[in-house]
Amino acid sequence: MTFDYDLFVIGAGSGGLAASKRAASYGAKVAIAEYDLVGGTCVIRGCVPKKLMVYGSHFPGLFSDASGYGWKVGNVELDWEYFITSIDKEVRRLSQLHISSLEKAGVELIPSRATLVDPHTVEVDGRKVTADKILIAVGGFPVKPDLPGMEYGITSNEIFHLKEQPKHIVILGAGYIGTEFACIMRGLGSEVTQITRGEKILNGFDEDVRIEIEEGMTNHGIRLIKNNVVKTIETVPEGLKLTLSGDDQEPVIADVFLVATGRTPNVDGLGLKNAGVDVVASSIEGPGYPTTSAIAVNEYSQTSQTNIFAVGDVTDRINLTPVAIGEGRAFADSEFGNNRREFSHQTVPTAIFSNPEAATVGWTEAEAREKLGDAVKIFHTRFRPMYHSLTGKQEKTMMKLVVDSNTDKVLGAHMVGENAAEIIQGVAIAVKMGATKKDFDATVGIHPSAAEEFVTMR
């Protein structure tokens, strides 16, 4: 059978872009459909604009630190409109770069929504096209619980486009998105209240990481309300009034309410049933959330329909940009490059761009003890960075290694403190290669640096 394309990709986010360009480099005829800005969540409303906001939020602290080194800094003020507009311009510039890279790679971009008609047919831009293989890479989207007044809340999509800086923002959610934006907005000068359903933030991360970040956030003036859920939201003359579940908890009044309680795979309207593509349950725990679905795939990102594949957040495996890129390239290598391979989801490093920043790779202490029991050995250090010797601030850095005493292998590395993501990226190479604690000990540290502590812990 003759097809219009060798590969048709639905979704021009990180995974779809990586897969389409790699497949085209092998000589495949490729088209990619995207109804939004090219670049996906990461470029448009995720990693990139968020990290730019993180950078912006650090300046008040730097101005303050400068005085400890003898610098005199005058009155400072944030031009919110300039800040938000500059971020949006950069996002659009990057989106155009991705469009140019598709053109250079020979990938046809179709600026339209695509829907599956059958296993080899896609309806797009008012016409039907066929493809030998189809890749679904449509990502996910933020969701809000179905509770009274939730229409007054915004999500992480809208926070990048606020016309004015919030005086007081309330954030619902204890995951990395809620935690990061709590720190961003506090750094920018807003009053911040974060509401969490549980006792601690960042469920799933190492316990010491959770404790250190939470302590740092509290020290920076973020108010944490724990063991509560939002029951109702209503408008009042002062802004939004949030009634919480705790019997003794007073209502909270703010001018902006950010709902950051979860994201769900973007499977609706894809026509998955038409093509015989199976899904699996993917639910967000908590009141007001329905059960949702993710596309089921095997280790090669192949769906129940053998010629249809899916990568990235729509599969709800590890929802990180580099993972989507890795999955997309592994798919292209396997199907078009004569190099059948899996993308490893083991030992994937990640970071939380909170204040303090954190990064981690490998097993948490709890995971290691569950599997190895008393064979787990922990190396831990906590100190004030040299940088703050003159600022007078009591900022702390925490580093931790999780080691299997039977083999001396380093199973996990965790850090909370300045430049944690930059440092853990290098450490992740060692952990991925199976380095032992002896290997770490034999490595000469760079002095004076915070990173040297990873090779000096005894």
**Residue 337 contacts residue 323 (beta carbons within 8 Å):** no
* Cα separation values, 18 from 37, 39, 96, 350, Å: 16, 11, 16, 20
Active site residue 388: no
Helix axes 207-219, 365-372, angle to 10 degrees: 160
**If you compute the radius of gyration of the chain from its CA atoms, what whole number of angstroms results?**
24
CA distance 25 to 106: 8
Two structure tokens written together for 449: 């640096």
Q: Give DSSP secondary structure letters for 127-152.
A: EEEEEEEEEE---EEE---S-TTGGG
CA distances from 111 to 100, 115, 417 (A): 14, 13, 42
Q: With beta carbons less than 8 A apart as the criterion, state whether 160 and 245 touch.
A: no
Taking the C-alpha atoms of residue 91 and residue 313, their distance in angstroms, rounded to an integer, is: 20
Burial 414-450 (b: 16+ CB within 10 A, else e): bbbbbebbebbeebbebbeeebebeebeeeeeeeeeb
Calculate the CA dihedral of residues 14, 17, 20, 25 and round it to 10 degrees.
-110
- The CA distance from 154 to 180, in Å, is 16
- 388: helix, strand or coil: helix
CA distance 310 to 296: 8
From 98, 161, 220, 447, active-site residue:
447
Q: Nearest-CA neighbor of 423 among 395, 388, 399?
A: 399
DSSP secondary structure string for all residues of 190-247: -EEEEE-SSSSSSTTS-HHHHHHHHHHHHHTT-EEE-S--EEEEEEETTEEEEEES-T
CB-based contact 65:59 (threshold 8 Å): no
**Which residues are catalytically annotated?**
447
